[in-house]
Amino acid sequence: MKSFIKFITCLLIIFLVGFTFVVTKYEKPILISSAGQSADVTLAGTLFKKIKVDVTVLPLAKKSDLNGVKTLVVVPGFSSKGLGAAGISREQEFDRIKDLIAAAKSKNMKIVMLHLGGVARRGNQSDDFNQMVANASDVMVVVKTGDTDQFFTNIANKRKVHIKVIDKIADAIPVMQELF
């Protein structure tokens, strides 16, 4: 009898988790920002255009930009070119995103992570940003080549948040249609 109850409980949990993932719609208005200033933030904006959802893309968003926002989408990935173009250092970018996430959390805002750059946005320079965003997000969408070592999957499992690993960037479209 005990094992039967355990079995039913497990089924219920799996069902609820799956159900939550499928039906959770992240509310608008949506703000997209970068963590590391890679151009993947532009790709994220294009993905939202494809699913016809209006978003504001501010690669250098500050906490004051969160006014009225319901969902914060963060696209992590380090780019030295991007930081150079923005005229900021890696440390300044790190502090900015830390403040932004803290402000979003204090407003009970939902945070969605889109890691689109695959292996190119992994490694020493990117992983600080990846970890910080992954540790704060309510759901992660990750291109498979960026998670071959289960970096994001392990964080998701540890934090018990949902992760959707996709084969390529274009596969994010149906996932985002479900989420938004």
Partner 1 sequence: MSLNHRFRAGLFLFIVLIICFISGKEFRRMTIPDKIYPSKEITKISELAQFNPNLKGTNGNTAVYYFDSGKPGGTLLLLGGTHPNEPAGFISAVLLVENLHISAGKIIVIPQACYSGFTCTDPLEGCPEFFTLKTKSGERNFRFGSRVSNPLDQWPDPLVYSHYPSGQELSGIETRNLNRSYPGRLNGSFTERVGYAIMQLIKNEKVDIAVDLHEAAPEVQIINAIICHEKGKDIAASAVLGLEFENLQYALEMSPQNFRGLSHREWGDSTAAYPFLMETSNPIQGRLRGKTSSDLVVSGNDPYYREAIKIGKFRITYLAEGEPIKLRVGRHIEGIKALLDAFAENFPEKKIVYGNIPAYQEILDKGVGFYLH
Which residues contact partner 1 (rule: CB under 8 A)? 39-40, 42-43, 45-47, 50, 79, 81-82, 84-85, 87, 117-120, 123, 168-170
Q: Which of 28, 81 has the CB closer to partner 1?
A: 81
Q: Decide whether 40 or 136 has the Cβ nearer to partner 1.
A: 40
Min. distance of Cβ 85 from partner 1 in angstroms? 5
Residue 137 CB, shortest distance to partner 1, in Å, is 22
Query: Residues 159, 152, 94, 177: what is their CA dihedral angle, to the nearest 10 degrees?
Result: -90
Of 175, 125, 167, nearest to 146 by C-alpha is: 167
Closest to partner 1 by CB, 70 vs 88, is: 88
Q: DSSP letters of 13-64?
A: HHHHHHHHHHH--PPSSEEEEEESB-THHHHHHHHHHHTT---EE-TT--GG
CA pair distance 50, 18, nearest whole angstrom: 25
Shortest Cβ 151–partner 1 spacing (Å): 15
Minimum CB distance to partner 1, residue 6 (Å): 41
CA distance 21 to 17: 6
Q: Which is nearer to partner 1, 20 or 46 (CB)?
A: 46
